[in-house]
């Protein structure tokens, strides 16, 4: 019964991940990347934690491979959350004001 609940929860999380990914993929602009980053991070962190608890009987090369693969995937999700180059800041605000004729 517990295994069934765990599988159901994992399916729900995966479905939410895919749904957010699809919603962001159909959107345009920098916010789409952030939505994908949130989905990727929300999926990647528990995934890494789960696999980290299963390292007991693995060979060292398998442990290192898991950490690099899953940790790298999590890092990519976190990087997608960061603002891109030229996103915000005082300089871009001044440029926008000049374009709009405010300043």
pLDDT > 60? residue 91: no
Largest CA distance in the chain: 66
pLDDT > 80? residue 101: no
Confidence of residue 90 (pLDDT cuts 50, 70, 90): low
- In this prediction, residue 58 carries a pLDDT of 86
Closest by CA to 42, choosing from 12, 5, 65, is 12
- In this prediction, residue 83 carries a pLDDT of 77
| pTM for the model | 0.56
Model pLDDT for residues 15-65, shown as the tens digit of each residue: 777 776 666 666 666 777 787 888 888 888 988 898 888 888 888 998 898
């Amino acid at each position: 019964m517990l295994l069934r609940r765990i599988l159901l929860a994992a399916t729900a999380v995966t479905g939410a991940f895919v749904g957010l990914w699809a919603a962001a993929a159909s959107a345009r602009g920098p916010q789409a990347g952030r939505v994908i980053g949130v989905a990727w991070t929300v999926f990647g962190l528990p995934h890494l934690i789960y696999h980290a608890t299963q390292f007991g009987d693995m060979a060292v090369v398998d442990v290192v491979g898991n950490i690099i693969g899953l940790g790298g995937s999590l890092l990519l999700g976190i990087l997608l959350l960061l603002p891109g180059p030229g996103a915000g800041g005082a300089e871009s605000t001044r440029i926008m004001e000049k374009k709009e004729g405010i300043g």
